[in-house]
Amino acid sequence: MNFRAIFETVDKEVYTALLGEEKRQTEGMELIASENYVSPSVLEVLGSVFTNKYAEGYPGKRYYGGQEFTDIVETLAIERAKKLFPGANFVNVQSHSGCPANEAVYSALLNLGDTVLGMDLSHGGHLSHGHPVTKMAKLYNFVRYKMKNIETGEIDYDALLQTAKETKPKIILAGFSAYPRELDYSKFKAIADEVGAITMMDMAHIAGLIAGKQLNNPFDFGFDIVTTTTHKTLRGPRGGMILCAKEEHAKAIDKMIFPGLQGGPHMHAIAGKAVAFGEALKPEFQVYAKNIIANAKAMADEFLKNGARLITGGTDNHMMLIDTVTSWGATGSEVETVLDKVHITLNKNAIADDPRGPMDPSGIRLGTPAMTTRGFMEAEFRTVAQFMMEAVKNRENDAKLAEIAKAVKELNMRFPVPGIEG
């Protein structure tokens, strides 16, 4: 049966939007550091009958009947995650995404008013690490650490220790959504041990690079808890996951996910996680992870060679942060807008201690996971950097922008998007 043809006749409006999005993704160059393209198998199971099933509880202990196949896929997701991240002795795959995963950990392990020590947002931390606008910041006391040197990305571990001694955090939280360097997990662990804190890492951005054995696994350094999304470098469906070394933490977190914060798990997403984790266990995923980093380094080199200022001076992972005001005399928002015109998608982003506001900050963030999935290698990423710099330089010249847009589209069309028929 041709489901697509049926869909077209039953809901023309959504069908037309779907075609539009497929065209946008095919013609466009996706440089948003947190996005990726899932495999056709993940897409297939996400649109499958698993979406029909309620499965409150956990495998073998559910509140509804008919769980013989949901139990299989959830158990597969858990066991595969344990293999991907050795040291994760207990895994919860039911969290709907990254923010809820972090919220579940705080809610399970903290009392109201307890302190968490996390990375400052403008130095790379995430909203869900206690930014004042969030609900979590009203319930718990979040204190901050920062980079010591913005030009190298070195974290100020001395200040981190000092703050930890002064504020006695219950959790010390590593992890970020805009930081291009590797963390020194052994230093986090030593500081946490000194003040009796739980160690937690939010690896959402780099989960695929850890699974692909290109970056360090926090469990190897004695970390207690790791949270993640499953759809960034890990290349699975949208979703979250919480991994624990110790049973006492895992038990409290499982109870907090269900029934504390969520009802029925999204079984189609959990089945998608199982498929994606199976893919990530294959040797070719390690090659993919290696290419992501090599491509990011090549792209960073191309920007640096041309005089751009990169926050931390380069990258060790999949992402770059560029100070566009200093580099090109354009705000992050202006750069995002002009690049949209040439089919290149990325996001404006605050840089460390940014004097500008969040809707028009001083920089951009970009990354290589999505286009590496499509097959771009270092040469293509260097070309992309050139396209970007050309477009920003000619931002008032519509004829030149049209020329660049055509070249970008031509390059993209040579690299198909998985799951979209050519």
Between the CA of residue 124 and those of 117, 201, 237, 239, what are the distances in Å?
Answer: 14, 14, 24, 21
Query: Residues 69-108 vs ligand DSN: string with x where CB under 6 A?
Result: -----------------------------x----------
Query: Residues 155-194 vs ligand DSN: string with x where CB under 6 A?
Result: ----------------------x-----------------
Locate all alpha helices (DSSP H) within 281-316, ordered by sequence: 283-305
Catalytic residue among 115, 163, 228, 229: 229
- At 242, phi and psi to the nearest 5? -125, 130
Catalytic residue among 30, 103, 202, 380: 202
Contact criterion met (CB below 8 Å) for 130 and 140: yes
In the complex, the smallest distance separating the C-beta of residue 25 from ligand DSN, rounded to whole angstroms, is 17
| Residue 24 annotated among the catalytic residues of the structure | no
Q: How far apart are CA 215 and CA 85, in angstroms?
A: 11
Q: What is residue 139's three-state secondary structure?
A: helix
Q: How far apart are CA 49 and CA 39, in angstroms?
A: 18
In the complex, the smallest distance separating the C-beta of residue 97 from ligand DSN, rounded to whole angstroms, is 8
Closer CB to ligand DSN, 122 or 177, in the complex? 177
| Residue 114 annotated among the catalytic residues of the structure | no
Among 108, 164, 107, CA closest to 136: 107
In sequence order, the 6+-apart residues with CB closer than 8 A to the CB of 220 are: 86, 87, 185
Contact criterion met (CB below 8 Å) for 356 and 331: yes
| Residue 54 annotated among the catalytic residues of the structure | yes
Closer CB to ligand DSN, 125 or 272, in the complex? 125
Catalytic residue among 22, 54, 62, 157: 54
CA atoms within 13 A on the CB side of 287: 7
In the complex, the smallest distance separating the C-beta of residue 99 from ligand DSN, rounded to whole angstroms, is 7
Among 185, 112, 114, 181, CA closest to 147: 181
Contact criterion met (CB below 8 Å) for 128 and 134: yes
Closer CB to ligand DSN, 137 or 281, in the complex? 137
In the complex, the smallest distance separating the C-beta of residue 104 from ligand DSN, rounded to whole angstroms, is 15
How many Cβ atoms sit within 10 Å of the Cβ of residue 158? 11
Closer CB to ligand DSN, 297 or 348, in the complex? 348
| Residue 232 annotated among the catalytic residues of the structure | yes
Q: How far apart are CA 346 and CA 332, in angstroms?
A: 10
* Contacts of ligand DSN in 110-129 (CB under 6 A): 126
**The only residue of 25, 28, 34, 293 in contact with ligand DSN, by rule CB under 6 A:** 34
Q: What is residue 322's three-state secondary structure?
A: strand
Helix (H) or strand (E) holding 154: strand 154-155
| Residue 315 annotated among the catalytic residues of the structure | no
Closer CB to ligand DSN, 80 or 126, in the complex? 126
Closer CB to ligand DSN, 126 or 249, in the complex? 126
The CB-nearest residue to ligand DSN is: 34
> Total binding residues for ligand DSN by CB under 6 A?
4
Catalytic residue among 56, 184, 340, 403: 56
In the complex, the smallest distance separating the C-beta of residue 98 from ligand DSN, rounded to whole angstroms, is 5
In the complex, the smallest distance separating the C-beta of residue 59 from ligand DSN, rounded to whole angstroms, is 28
Catalytically active residues are 54, 56, 202, 229, 232, 238
- Chain residues in the site for ligand DSN (CB under 6 A): 34, 98, 126, 177
